[in-house]
Amino acid sequence: MSKPTADQSAPSDAFIARFRARASGDVARFDAFMDLALYDPEFGYYRRSGRRVGYGKGTDFFTATTSGPIFGELISAACASLLKGHDLRDFHFLEIGAEPGGGVLRDVAHPFASARTIRVGEPIEITGNAIVFSNELFDAQPFRRFVFRSGNWNERYVRLQHGHFVEELRPAENYAFAALPSSAPEGYQIDLPFASVELLRAIAAQPWRGLFLAFDYGKSWSELVEAQPAGTARAYFQHTQSNDLLARPGQQDLTCHVCWDWLTEVLASSGFSALALESQEAFFVHHASDFIGAAIAAEAARMSQRKLALMQLLHPAHLGQKFQALHATRMAPCANSD
């Protein structure tokens, strides 16, 4: 069992009470703790008011949306390219998980029938012709944590001890072994994003047709089990990355890489075709090249903020290779819709 770190801020009494209501004997699996810390209606990091994304005081991380409207313009151009041959006025653009007051197309002129957002905590209801978009949605879903020790897989739990949260290892339950390799190097850690798969299944099960497009960071299954010995889980607080996932519950972001193989399998089994996974750089170069060319030409004589933002989104040393885009189309409703 681990001990609280010296800089770990004590959770509030109210958060402790909520944890105890969900836990069994003051112990819960890590994904249950994470669900509470991120999504509890009262205490969750993504449910509290205030800015989380950006560069200013009180923010914790930045992403493509921080670059301003040009990210939305690129998204609009790419979606139009991917739906070439269809009347774009028949499609409703739907963004899942946008920040309050945000939305990638909020300040962008677009050719679609409408653009709206589904906020965290709101029901996901999608029908008809749609473009279903998300940016860093799946990496923020609760995940389970495993470590290989003494010839067996163990799962990380969270225990409340003397007013702090500490880690506790327990033998992994039998059904977890279906996803885990039979053996691994001593101390090898794997963070399994099961909830991201369930979220995508829920999205794909809705009776809609059109384009699915998700920007996120992830790994293939082989990379997760062979090339990530410390796992991919991390926390972000005031633009500082940390491995202390139990500190500041409700005040810091928690994340891990998605498994692209799992998400692709969900789409394929739900009637999607033309599946592709590309780096953010490659995606925009392949599907929004005309827009990029026009934007560069318009800013050729100066190094404007708009040009800098475009470079940040595309350059492989910035966001161009850090994020990937998974996209697919389904031109008939899912099989289990009405």
Give the up-direction half-sphere exposure of residue 147: CA atoms within 13 A in the CB hemisphere.
Answer: 13
From CA 130, how far away is CA 137, in angstroms rounded? 18
From CA 89, how far away is CA 142, in angstroms rounded? 36
How confident is the model at residue 6, as a pLDDT? 43
The 10s digit of each residue's pLDDT in 167-192 is 999 999 877 778 899 999 999 999 99
Q: If we measure between CA atoms, which residue out of 62, 98, 119, 74 comes closest to residue 253?
A: 62
pTM of the model: 0.91
Q: How far is CA 295 from the centre of its chain?
A: 28
Kindly report the average pLDDT of the chain as a whole number.
Answer: 89
The structure tokens listed for 41 are 């209606």
Q: Where do we find the tokens 């749609």? A: 130
Cα angle 89-90-91, degrees, rounded to a multiple of 5: 95
How confident is the model at residue 181, as a pLDDT? 93
Residue 87 pLDDT > 80: yes
How confident is the model at residue 91, as a pLDDT? 98
From CA 233, how far away is CA 222, in angstroms rounded? 17
